[in-house]
Structure 1
Amino acid sequence: MTDLRPLNYFLGISATRTTTGLFLSQKQYAAEILERANMTTCHPCRTPIEPGAKLTTHGPPVKDPTLYRSLAGALQYLTFTRSDITYAIQQIFFFMHDTREQHFHALKRILQYIQGTTNLGLQLYAS
């Protein structure tokens, strides 16, 4: 193996050295997901899931299930540095086989949350 210099960016994850350790972020990757969903100018929301929301199998089917699956998969990769969205992503994955408009609405809510929290990441502390 060859040492290729200090780690800065790898597989969509940005690594920044701090005085306490290493900060991992997927800010650029999150921006790319928002762009793919045409939500770069959406209004951010404070939570990734509506409080008290219950997703069911009722309602009209989603018009583009491929887009839903693509965005859901991209969001799942984002959970490497964003554990705050793990539960919300799990909820939308329950309905990958039979996606309804309410599920796509829940996915868009997660994207709105991402829009307002792109600076979050994972802080690894030096021992």
Structure 2
Amino acid sequence: MPFMHDHMHSLRRILRYIQDTSHYGLHLYPSSITSLISYTDADWGGCPDTRRSTSGYCVFLGENLLSWSSKRQATLSRSSAEAEYCGVANVVSESCWLRNLLLELHCPIHKATVVYCDNVSAIYLSGNPVQHQRTKHIEMDIHFVHKKARGQVRVLHVPSRYQIADIFTKGLPLILFQDFRDSLSVRQPPTSTGGCDRT
């Protein structure tokens, strides 16, 4: 019975949030297209039923949110570094696809895409593809990211306090959630400054 009560409480909170924010939307602003910047995060074994991790990422073109994802990883991760590295591989793949799309639209990105990750081990693996028993099962991801890191992508550390992708992978304190939501440009529409309609 407590299990059902917890789910009903969570469902009520979700419905109340949707009701209170149904008028929110993604805002886009004029911006010079100079760079792609992405954030990626994963919660290690966060699903209580399957112990699979959830990966999340967001990609910005200039100051505008262009792409985002939050989904359960297909396989079990043996460590937090592995879960985070799978997330890095996902956002690197998405970033490469976006770079090719922008190239076809005659808006090439000349700078390397910056990928922000808060896991030091995953960052180390992206630049140093050392193979050993603990990384053998993610070998393809390691080679893929390392190959792209030779010019198209740079994987850098971001402190957890500024890890915007956390909003896609875990529950957050209200203030941090609102701060990250604003960083994604998801907000209320601007208030109208026009006069009354006199028809």
Quick check: TM above 0.5? no
Task: Pick the structure with greater CA Rg.
Answer: 2
**More strand by percentage:** 2
Q: What is the TM-score normalised by the length of structure 2?
A: 0.21
Larger RCO: Structure 1 or Structure 2 (Cα < 8 Å, ≥ 6 residues apart)? 1
So what's the TM-score if we normalise by structure 1?
0.29
